[in-house]
Amino acid sequence: MLKILLLTISIFAVVFLEHLFLKIFSISLFALLGIYLWHRGMNWTYILIFVLLGLALDVTMHLPLGLHTVALGISILFAQLAKTVIPTEGFVHESIILLISTLLFYILFLVLNPVILDFSLPSISLKTVLYIVIKSLVSVLLYFFITLSTQSFRSKDFDKIRLK
């Protein structure tokens, strides 16, 4: 029961934060969270939550239904294919895969909307590509900042409870 309550509150929080981050930094928390949690290895709940989140964001941004879900699915598929080629044990390798996955998400987001609505491709200038690359870099930095923070937060407790 508590888990369901926490999940419900989290969904609302993610919708709020996604709009807030997009307004202030133009960064998609949905993409970052989706790729991060997939990488951690979640269960069926992951699919249900991210489909619902994707649909909610599609409606609040007045986009075609399914756009966020399809973009996330393709980005994660790419990350999965990349993992078979690039080993993910190292910090550099993991960051490269994450960077290209988030870059792909932003490009797909830009391209899929006019394709689904009007069957036309948008014009992508060099300025737009540069903007997307910068957003992806900032997203990756944010991802590692959060990962390192959570790891350092946990490491102090683990040292204390280790049995000899």
Partner 1 sequence: MTKSKVELQNIQPYILLAIGALFVLLDKGGFSGGIRSSLSYVFEPVSFVADDTGDTVSEWGYALVDASSYISELNSLKEELVIAKSSESSILLLQEENATLKEQLSLSNREDTFIAAKVLDYSPEGTIRINVGEADGIKEGDVVQLGKVFVGVVEQADGLGSLVRIPINKSSHYEIAILPQNTQVDEELPINSLVKATGVASGSVSGIKLENIGINAEVSDGDIVVLRDGRIGGILVLGRVVGLINNPASTSKSGFVSPVFDYANLITVYVKTN
Give me the residues that bind partner 1 (CB under 8 A), please. Answer: 12, 15-24, 38, 41, 43-44, 46-47, 50-51, 54-56, 59-74, 76-77, 80, 110, 114, 116-118, 120, 122-123, 125
In terms of CB distance, is 63 or 142 closer to partner 1? 63
**Which one, 142 or 164, has the nearer CB to partner 1?**
142
Of residues 21 and 36, the one with the C-beta less far from partner 1: 21
Nearer to partner 1, 41 or 160 (CB): 41
Least distance CB 138 / partner 1 (angstroms) = 15
| Closest separation in Å from C-beta 164 to partner 1 | 28
Minimum distance from residue 91 beta carbon to partner 1 (Å): 19
Structure tokens at 50: 């991210």
